[in-house]
Amino acid sequence: METINWKVEGMTCTNCALSVTKFLEKEGMQNVKVNPIDGDVHFEIVELDEAQQKNLTQGINSLGYKVVDEKLRKATASSHKPMNRYLRFLLICLPFTLVLMLHMIPGLHIHWLMNPWVQLVLCLPVYITGMYFFGRSAWKSLGSGSPNMNVLITIGATAAFVYSLIGTLMGQGDQFLFYETAAAIITLVFLGNYLEDVSVQSTQRELNKLARSQKVMANMIAFDDHHQELVFPVENTQLRSGDLVLVKSGEQVPADAKILWGEGTVNEAIITGESLPVSKKPKDKIIGGSLLTSGTLKAQVSAAADQSVLANILNLVKKAQGDKPPVQRMADQISAIFVPVVLGIAAVTFVANYFFLDAFTPALMRSIAVLVIACPCAMGLATPAAIAVGLGRAAKNGILFRNARSLEAFKTIRQVVFDKTGTLTTGEFSIDKFAAEGIAENEFKLIAYSLEKYSNHPIAQCISKYWKTSNDIKWTKIEEVKGKGMIGTSKEGDEYWAGSYVMAGNNITEDHHNIYVLKNGRLLGWIDVKDTVREEAASVISYLHTKKITTILLSGDSLANCNTLAKGLGIDTIYAEKTPEEKLEIISRLSETTPTAMVGDGINDAPALAKATIGISLSDASQVAMQTADVVLMNNGLKNLPLALGLGKHTLITIRENLFWAFSYNIIAIPIAAFGFLTPALGALAMGLSDVVLAFNSLRLLVKKTT
C-alpha cells in the first residue's frame, strides 16, 4: 500500500474533516486520517495514478476545500505571510456592520440610517461576502450528504436578510428591519473563526518550532579540478546522502550526518529535550536540527532532509494528530448528525414560539438564534486541539507517540515491564573477565570474535569491539538463534556456539556467565561483561511505585544477574532466562489480566512490544524502533518515561474537559436561544468564543505539571 500525504485548505472544524474523510472512503481509500487543525490528510491506496489523483482533487475541491500542492506552494511562496483569510473577510464586513449597528446605541437617533433602502445597501456587501464563503461551503456540503456548520450560518443569515428584504419591497421596512442581524451574524462568525483559527494554530506551537528547524542554509564542501576544497552555501533541502558539509560553531546542523573530522559539543534539545550539550567526535552521528555550540566539524550527510530524524519526528507527530482515540468516537457520531438535528430544533422553535406568542417576528428571531449559537465545531475540536498540544509538547521533549490511541491507553496502565539490557542498563558493555579451557587465550578470543561479529546484540558488539582482529575465521554457515546466540560451521565441519547458558545446555556446570563458547558441544570457555545501570533507572522505578504501578523485569539474562539488578532498583517481579517467544507469551498473559506497558529496545523485543497494551521503545529514532513501539523515547533513556505517562494521562483529562464544555455549551445554549433570552448576534459571538475556550484550555497542557 502507498501512503499519500496531502495538504487541504479550507477546513474549519471536524465536520469539515468528516466530509473529506467520507468522500475519500467512498472512493475506496483506506486508513484515512484528516487533521482539521493543520489540514494534513493521509490515506493509503495500492497505486495512485494521475486520473485518480485528478478525480480525488476535484472531489475535495467540490466540497468547498482546496488540495494544495506543497512543493509548488513552497516554490512560489513569497517572503510576506498572507493575511489570515478570516481576518480579511472580517475587515471587509466590519465597517458596514458597525454603521448598521449605530441605531442600536441608546439615545443615538440617526434619521437617514432608519431608511430600509440605506440599510439594504449597507447590508448587501456583508451578505454577499458571507454567502461567498459560508454559502458556497454550505451548498457543497449539502450536495455531498455531509452538512457542515456553515449550513446553520447560511440559513440563519439568509432568513434575517430575506425577511428584511421582503419588508423593504412591501414598503413595511419599519417593522422588518433586521438587516443588522444578518450582517452581525456573518461578521461575528468571521470574528469567531478568526479567533478560533489563531488560538487553535497556537496549539501547534511546539511542532512549528521543530518544523522551522527543518529548513536552514548549509555549508557544502566540494572539490575543484585541482582537488582544492571549496565551500559554498546551499539550502539543506538540496543535500543528499553522501554530501560533505562544514558546520561551524553556533550553526545549526543542516542534516543527519556522520562526523569525519573535528570535535565539538552539540545541543540536541530541540530533538531530545535534553538541554545539556553532548560531546561529539569523529565517527559520531549528529542530528539535523541540533545546534553546534562549540567546535568545527566536517561531516558526511547520512540522510536527505525528507528522511532525517527531524522529518520522521514531524511526520510521526502529524500522523498521530490525525488519529482519533476511542473517547472521540461518540463526539464524531454526534457531530455527524448535529446539523440536521439543529435544523429540526430550529424548526420546532419557530413553530412553538409562533403558536404560543402568536407573532411571526419573535419566532423567526429565536429560531435564527438557535441556528447560529449551535456549535458542532466545539465537539469536533475537543480532541484535536488537546492532542495537538499534548503531542507537540511530547515531541519537544523527545517523546514520540505513534498514534493518539496510546494517549488514552495510558490512563489504564497498572504495570510496566522492563527489558534489562539497553533499557534499565546503558547497554555499553566492557569485558570484565573470561576463561579459556583447554585452548589458548588468543585462539579463544579469535573464535568468540568470529562468531559475535555477526550479531547486533549489545554483548556481542562489545566482544567484537574489544577483540577485533583482521584474521577472523571464515564460516561456511553462520546463523543467529534469537534469544540464544550464534552458531557457526567451519570448513572442517566443526560446529561452534557462542551464546547464553540456554544454548550451552547440559555442557556447563556454572550458569551465571554471560557468554559460553563451545565446539561440537564441548565447552571452550566463558566470558563475563560489565554493564552500567542507567542513572535514572532507580528514580523512574521509585516514581512508578508512588503511582501504585507494579514493576516487572523480563529478560533473557541469567536469574542471578536479574536478581542483582532487581534488588538494587526495587523491582517487584522477575522473569529471567526468557527467549523472545517466552517473552511474547508472558506479555500476552499479563496484558490480558491487567493493562500493561512494556519498555524495550524495539528490535529483539519487537513481538512483545507489539503485544503489550502500550509498547515503549528506547531508541535513537531508528526506523525499526519507530515501526515497532507505540511510543518512542529518544536518546534520554528512561528519563522521560514519567513525562510520557503523565502527558498521556493529562492529555486525556484535557480531552474530557473539552468534551464536557462542548456538550454542556450546546445543551445549555440552544434552549436559552429557543426561549428568546439572547439575540442572534450574541448567539453568533458566543458560538465563535466557545471554540476559543477549548483552545485555551488545551494550551494549558504546555505548562501543566504532569508528573
Report, as residue numbers or ranges, the catalytic residues.
Answer: 419
- Taking a C-beta distance cutoff of 8 angstroms, is the pair 601, 580 a contact? no
Give the Cα separation of 520 and 504 in Å (integer): 11
613 in helix, strand or coil? coil
Give the Cα separation of 265 and 639 in Å (integer): 21
198 in helix, strand or coil? helix
Give the Cα separation of 404 and 614 in Å (integer): 12
Q: Which three cell numbers mark 705? A: 505539571
Give the contacts of 638 (CB within 8 A, at least 6 positions apart): 423, 424, 534, 536, 537, 540, 599, 618
Q: Which three cell numbers mark 195? A: 479567533
Rounded to whole angstroms, the maximal C-alpha distance in the chain is: 116
Give the Cα separation of 39 and 349 in Å (integer): 36
DSSP characters for 54-122? Answer: HHHHHHHHHTT-EEE-HHHHHHH--SSPPPPHHHHHHHHHHHHHHHHHGGGSTT---GGGG-HHHHHHH
- Taking a C-beta distance cutoff of 8 angstroms, is the pair 380, 515 a contact? no
How many angstroms separate the first and last alpha carbons of the chain?
Answer: 40
- Position 659: which residue type? L
What is the enclosing helix (H) or strand (E) of 524? Answer: strand 522-530
- Taking a C-beta distance cutoff of 8 angstroms, is the pair 566, 553 a contact? yes
In order of 219, 223, 233, 240, 250, the CA distances from 230 in angstroms are 10, 6, 10, 17, 21
Give the Cα separation of 596 and 578 in Å (integer): 18
Cα–chain center distance at 576:
35
- Taking a C-beta distance cutoff of 8 angstroms, is the pair 514, 520 a contact? no
Give the Cα separation of 598 and 260 in Å (integer): 37
Q: What is the CA radius of gyration of the chain?
A: 32
The dihedral through the CA atoms of 565, 568, 569, 571 has a sign that is positive
Give the Cα separation of 430 and 465 in Å (integer): 9
